[in-house]
Amino acid sequence: MPGILGEVRALVTPAMDEALSRLSPEIRKVIDYHMGWRDADGRPVQRRGSKSVRPALAFLSARAGGGEFQGAVSGALAVEFLNNWAFLIDDVMDRDRFRRQRETAWVVFGEGQAICAGTALLTLAQQVLLESDSPTRLKALSLTMDTSARMLAGQTLDMTFERRFDYTVEESMTMTRSKTASLMRCATSIGAVLVGAEDKTVDALAEFGQCLGVAFQARDDMLGIWGTPDQTGGRPRGFDVKARKGTLPIALALNDEAHGSALREIFALPGELSQAHVERATELIVATGGREWTEDLARRMVAQATAAVEGLALPDDIRAHFGQLAAMGLPDDVAR
Amino acid sequence: MPGILGEVRALVTPAMDEALSRLSPEIRKVIDYHMGWRDADGRPVQRRGSKSVRPALAFLSARAGGGEFQGAVSGALAVEFLNNWAFLIDDVMDRDRFRRQRETAWVVFGEGQAICAGTALLTLAQQVLLESDSPTRLKALSLTMDTSARMLAGQTLDMTFERRFDYTVEESMTMTRSKTASLMRCATSIGAVLVGAEDKTVDALAEFGQCLGVAFQARDDMLGIWGTPDQTGGRPRGFDVKARKGTLPIALALNDEAHGSALREIFALPGELSQAHVERATELIVATGGREWTEDLARRMVAQATAAVEGLALPDDIRAHFGQLAAMGLPDDVAR
């Protein structure tokens, strides 16, 4: 969506600055660092634009719902804040020490500070919506609360996967839907809600985001096993296997009649997995057809997302953006 | 408030069960354990009633605002959820392993699960208010969001105190006001908000709770230094000194011209403080007059709280409850 990112940032940046100005100085320091606006000592650095995908989706959603970008500013902020809340908290929980080539906030400021700053963003997302002047703001607020509740449920389920290797594919799918796809669902529908679109339109846009979110995650799950460091921002190949994550291809393999028990045995080994074990585990996942299955899932989800908005009377440029976005969920490059 | 606790629980318990039923099974498990309703394996145990002080305050607030207990159920749930959110998160951040003679949730389920479960309660507090049928529910929702934002700011400020011993008494007071007193302020005013009391009444009740919250905390700060294990639920004497907490008497002593630098030297020692160092630090705090100062602060805050509601036309029983409550902030037993 390079065509609209300039416009998106021009609307989001001042509104975001205003919203963040109500945070306490101590929290603001963590947020400014996390966002890449200041260094650990509070000195301003060249702002690296965030990808702003979710705010952009909120704006497209407003246009798709018959309104204008301007009508979705509070929704764009809300999804951007929820997204960064999730980043801040996930990094603590996954013990990830780097994000976008920088040390993560909890490494710099401590776990407690990162968690409080993240939670402050969650609260701010809701305050911004409550104070918006859209007549349908309470519906948007309710959607956001429901989304954060889903994300928490998904994250909690995901954490149980670290301790047990008996989860089903359905449980992994529930986790994917709640933990990551629900935020995309919120982003693609909140703009339409805020401009007062009818339920049928909102529901179709929610389904679009939900399916696309699963497709993106399925593609990410493939990258987590077969992605090159080039494709994954420098992560070593197979890092999801090494971390014994409950991703979709791994859940499928763990439940495979022929190879599941061998994989469970590797996952049950104490301590960090050796490179040889990661490779053996990856072979087992391949042998179960986990790669093709996940690729196929991503394709089906992209198709289902596209179908969801097919019946909507969308402006041409919005339909084109949605088409490009859907294509980003296709796993062609991973599958090669 | 033994006289009304039965009525409070009869209103709160079913509403709370209904609200919690929307949480995912994984989150519910952590909450049920934390609340003391189930053991770590999910087996029901004899429910030990929580003290329910904050829900009781929300109900008294409704009566003080001219309404009935029933009008404040959503507010009572909200403050109870915020209170337990704070417990769950604080225990992780303070590395407290026990609460009410049981292992804390993070010890049993892991930090991530405790944090997600706590945050789910924060979200639930807001959902319950948004869905309440009070015509003034959005004002109550806004109050709750503002309260959680203050609590986060206070907790974040408190955490900076662990790393530096150059904070002022004013900073410690800001922390006290935001981290703990703000929730009591919310509890004593949210009921009145929900029953549609006029602003003047709401403001007076908010001031009552705010001052009382500072008094309770000042009393707690004294207990954290001079309380016997009997008074502190089994904690060793001087545990706040050992933990180098930024409580009010400690902040005062750190800023004392004569003894501040000696105390800072002890606090700057690496590792855990020895019993001898804790005793020496306590002597220094006493020498600065920190004990009398904190005791006096608690008394002044109790007086200010009482004065705040003096002008309100309160039902006799409510005024009596408020009087008893205010007396609970007096530090007589600690000061003896």
d(CA A60, CA B249): 55
Domain CATH number, residue B244: 1.10.600.10
Nearest to A94 by CA among A102, A84, A104, A108: A104
Do B159 and B202 lie in one domain? The reply is no
Do B223 and B155 lie in one domain? The reply is no
Which pLDDT does position B100 carry in this prediction? 79
Nearest to B142 by CA among A240, A128, A127: A127
Confidence of residue B286 (pLDDT cuts 50, 70, 90): very high
Do B113 and B208 lie in one domain? The reply is no
Chain B partners of A153 at a C-beta cutoff of 8 Å? 23-24, 26-27, 120
Structural domain for B60, as ranges: 1-163
Largest CA distance in chain B: 59
Chain A partners of B112 at a C-beta cutoff of 8 Å? 92-93, 155-156, 159
How close, in Å, is residue A264 to chain B by CA atoms? 22
d(CA A87, CA A35): 10
How close, in Å, is residue A70 to chain B by CA atoms? 24
d(CA A295, CA A334): 9
Do B156 and B203 lie in one domain? The reply is no
Q: Is residue B182 part of a domain?
A: no
Contact A82, A144 (CB under 8 A): yes
Do B133 and B239 lie in one domain? The reply is no
Find the residue in A nearest to B86 (Cα): A116
Q: Which amino acid is at A103?
A: E
d(CA A49, CA A35): 9
Q: Which amino acid is at A59?
A: F
The partner residue sitting opposite A153, judged by closest CB among B24, B89, B149, is B24
Which pLDDT does position A236 carry in this prediction? 84
Q: Is residue B251 part of a domain?
A: yes
C-alpha gyration radius of chain B: 20
Q: The pTM is what?
A: 0.94
Cβ distance A156 to B130 less than 8 Å, yes or no, reads: no
Q: What is the mean pLDDT of chain B?
A: 94
Over 90: is that where the pLDDT of B48 sits? Answer: no
Do B8 and B154 lie in one domain? The reply is yes
Do B157 and B205 lie in one domain? The reply is no
Contact A78, A144 (CB under 8 A): yes
Q: Within 10 Å of residue B97's Cβ, how many Cβ atoms? A: 10
Map residue B38 onto helix, strand or coil: strand
* pLDDT tens-digit map of B128-154: 999 999 999 999 999 999 999 999 999
B84-88 own/partner pairs: CB under 8 Å, 24+ apart: B84/B31, B84/B34, B84/B35, B84/B118, B84/B121, B85/B118, B85/B119, B85/B121, B85/B122, B85/B125, B85/B148, B86/B118, B86/B151, B86/B155, B86/B183, B87/B34, B87/B118, B88/B34, B88/B114, B88/B115, B88/B117, B88/B118, B88/B121
CA A20 to chain centroid, in Å, comes to: 22
How close, in Å, is residue A223 to chain B by CA atoms? 25
d(CA B318, CA B146): 26
Q: Which of B89, B152, B177 to mutate to test the interface with A (most CBs of A within 10 A)?
A: B152
Contact B78, B55 (CB under 8 A): no
Q: Is residue B143 part of a domain?
A: yes
Cβ distance A123 to B142 less than 8 Å, yes or no, reads: no
> By a Cβ cutoff of 8 Å, what residues of chain B touch chain A?
22-24, 26-27, 30, 89, 92-93, 110-113, 115-117, 119-120, 122-124, 126-127, 130, 138, 141-142, 145-146, 148-149, 152-153, 155-157, 159-160, 178
Do B17 and B137 lie in one domain? The reply is yes
Contact B278, B242 (CB under 8 A): yes
Residue A51, both tokens: 């990808």
- Tell me how many degrees the CA angle A22-A26-A29 measures, rounded to the nearest 5: 85
Q: Is residue B119 part of a domain?
A: yes
d(CA B105, CA B116): 11
Do B128 and B5 lie in one domain? The reply is yes
* pLDDT tens-digit map of B75-124: 999 999 999 999 999 999 988 888 877 899 999 999 999 999 999 999 99
Q: Which amino acid is at A130?
A: L
Q: Which of A91, A111, A115 to mutate to test the interface with B (most CBs of B within 10 A)?
A: A115
Over 60: is that where the pLDDT of B188 sits? Answer: yes
Return the C-alpha torsion angle A201, A205, A211, A213, nearest 10. Answer: -160
Q: Is residue B175 part of a domain?
A: no
Do B249 and B123 lie in one domain? The reply is no
DSSP string, A299-312: HHHHHHHHHHHHTS
d(CA A209, CA A143): 13
Domain count, chain B: 2
Cβ distance B23 to A153 less than 8 Å, yes or no, reads: yes
DSSP state letter for B183: H
Contact A147, A186 (CB under 8 A): yes
DSSP state letter for A44: B
Name the packing angle between helices B53-64 and B2-20 (round to 10°). Answer: 110
Q: Is residue B192 part of a domain?
A: no
Residue A9, both tokens: 């940032």
Do B87 and B234 lie in one domain? The reply is no
Which pLDDT does position A121 carry in this prediction? 98
Contact B171, B207 (CB under 8 A): no
- The dihedral sign for the CA sequence B163, B168, B171, B175: positive
Q: Is residue B2 part of a domain?
A: yes
CA atoms within 13 A on the CB side of B33: 24
Q: Is residue B1 part of a domain?
A: yes
The partner residue sitting opposite B119, judged by closest CB among A124, A127, A152, is A152
Chain A partners of B243 at a C-beta cutoff of 8 Å? none
Chain A partners of B127 at a C-beta cutoff of 8 Å? 142, 145-146, 149
Nearest to B94 by CA among B107, B82, B109: B107
> By a Cβ cutoff of 8 Å, what residues of chain A touch chain B?
22-24, 26-27, 30, 89, 92-93, 110-113, 115-117, 119-120, 122-124, 126-127, 130, 138, 141-142, 145-146, 148-149, 152-153, 155-157, 159-160, 178
Give the end of a domain, one of B142, B163, B184: B163
Cβ distance B130 to A141 less than 8 Å, yes or no, reads: yes
C-alpha gyration radius of chain A: 20
Q: Which of B138, B156, B158 to mutate to test the interface with A (most CBs of A within 10 A)?
A: B156
- Tell me how many degrees the CA angle A51-A54-A58 measures, rounded to the nearest 5: 135
Do B123 and B228 lie in one domain? The reply is no
* pLDDT tens-digit map of A84-141: 999 999 999 988 888 877 899 999 999 999 999 999 999 999 999 999 999 999 999 9
Which single residue is written with the structure tokens 């702003």?
Answer: A52
* pLDDT tens-digit map of B53-86: 899 999 999 999 999 999 999 999 999 999 999 9
Q: Is the ipTM of this complex over 0.90?
A: yes
Q: Which amino acid is at A306?
A: T
Over 70: is that where the pLDDT of B173 sits? Answer: yes
Low-confidence ranges of chain A (pLDDT < 50): none
d(CA B267, CA B283): 14
